[in-house]
Structure 1
Amino acid sequence: MSSEVFSQLVDAHYTALFRFALSLTKNSSDAGDLTQQTFFIWAKQGHALREVAKAKSWLFTTLYREFLRGRRRADRVTALEDLGPVEADPPAPPVDVITSMDSSLVLESLQEVDEVYRAPLTLFYLQEFSYKEIADMLEVPIGTVMSRLSRGKAQLRSVMMRKEAGTKVVPFPIQTVRKQS
C-alpha cells in the first residue's frame, strides 16, 4: 500500500475512530493510543483486505478488538491506583468544538452508560453503522445489537434525566393568543 493511500485512509477515518475510542476508553490519551495502534495494525495487515470498501468497518472492528485485548491485559496487571499516591494526570484538552456545544450533555451522559451498551450506541448513532455491521464488529447476533441499543437508549435517557434535574431550567413565558372581536 502506498503512503498516499494510507494517508488518505487516515484522513478519512481518524476523527471517527478517535471518537469511538474515546467513548470506549473515556480518556483522550488512551483513545489516541488505541487509534494509533489501529492504524499501525492496518499498516501491517491492511493489504490482506480484499474489498477496499470495507476498510472503515475493518478499522472499527480492529479498534474494538484492541480495546478488549488491552482491557483483558489490564485486568491481569496491578492497577496504578494500587501502587500508591501519584501525581494527578493533567486535565485532558477538549476533544473538539462539538463537545462544547449543545451535545455536551449527551456525550457526557454517554460516558456513564455501561460499556456493553455504549459501544453499540456510539457505532449506530454517531458512526452510522448498520445493525449487521455492528453485529460483525462486536461479534454478537443482530438481535443482541438491537436489544443493547434499546437498553442503552433507556440507560442514556435515565442518565440524562438525572443530569437535567440538577440544572436549573428557566421556562419561557407562555403568551396567550387573544381573539379579536
Structure 2
Amino acid sequence: MTDQERSQRFQDTMLPHLHAAYNLARWLTRSDGDAQDVVQEAYLRAFRYFDAFHGHDGRSWLLAIVRNTYYSGAKQHEHELREVQFDEDHLSADEIAEIHAHFGGDNDPAAILQRGDESRRVHRALERVPTAFREVLILRELEDLSYREIADIAGIPVGTVMSRLARGRKLLAAYLLEREACHGL
C-alpha cells in the first residue's frame, strides 16, 4: 500500500469519528484546549499505528486511543484516578422517579427553553462525576456504545462497565437533586 493510499484509508476510517473523539476527550479533560491536545495526540498515535488496525469500524479503536492518551498524560490529575467510593443507597426510588418526572416535557417554547437550562445543569452535574464513572456514562449515553465496546475501550470487564454505569447514573442524579435543592428549583 502506498503512503497516499494509507493516508486516504486512515482519513476514510478515522476522520468520521473526530466528533466522538473530541466529545470523549472533552468530558475526560473538562477543558476545550486540553481536549484538543488529547485528540491531536490520539490521532497522531492512531496514524502511527494504523497498520495494526484490522477492523472495519475505527470508532472503538480510536476512542481507546483517546482514552489511553488522556490517562497517559493524566499524572497531574492522579487524584481523579484513585478508586472512587459511592454509597449506592444514597438515592431512593422516589428521588429517581422525581428526576425522571422533572426532565419530561412538551414542545412549547417555554418548555424548550427550560430543557436548554436543564441541559446546562446536566452538563455541570456530569462534570462533577468522577472520571471513572463519567467516561462510561459518556461512552454509553452520548456515544451509544455497547457494554462490550466500552469494556474493550476502557480495558475493564463488562461487569465493571455495568457497575460504573449504574453508579455514575446515581451520582449524576444525586448531583442534580443536590443542585435543585440548593437553588430551590
Q: TM-score range by the shorter chain?
A: 0.7 to 0.9
| Number of the residue aligned with 1:7 | 11
Q: What is the TM-score with the length of structure 2 in the denominator? A: 0.71
Unmatched 5+ stretches in structure 1: 77-99, 170-181
Larger Rg, first or second structure (1 or 2): 1
Match for 2:123 among 89, 107, 111? 107
The CA distance in 2 between the partners of 1:70 and 1:34, in whole Å, is 9
Within the alignment, does 1:56 sit opposite 2:56 as a pair?
no
Match for 1:18 among 19, 22, 29? 22
Q: How much does 1:148 deviate?
A: 0.6
Tell me: higher relative CO, structure 1 or 2? Use CA pairs within 8 A at least 6 residues apart. 2
Q: How much does 1:116 deviate?
A: 1.2
Match for 2:177 among 155, 161, 164? 161
The residue type equivalent to 2:163 in the other structure is S
Q: What is the TM-score with the length of structure 1 in the denominator? A: 0.72
Within the alignment, does 1:134 sit opposite 2:147 as a pair?
no
Describe the superposition over 1:61-84 as per-residue Cα deviations: whole angstroms up to 9, x where unpaired. 111111111013x369xxxxxxxx
| Number of the residue aligned with 1:121 | 137
Over aligned residues, Cα RMSD in angstroms? 2.1
Unmatched 5+ stretches in structure 2: 79-114
The residue type equivalent to 2:126 in the other structure is L
For residues 68-87 of structure 1, the aligned pairs below 5 Å read: 68-72=71-75, 74=76
CA spacing shift, 1:159–1:136, aligned 2, 3 Å: same
SS of the residue corresponding to residue 63 of structure 1 reads helix
The count of residues paired between Structure 1 and Structure 2 equals 144
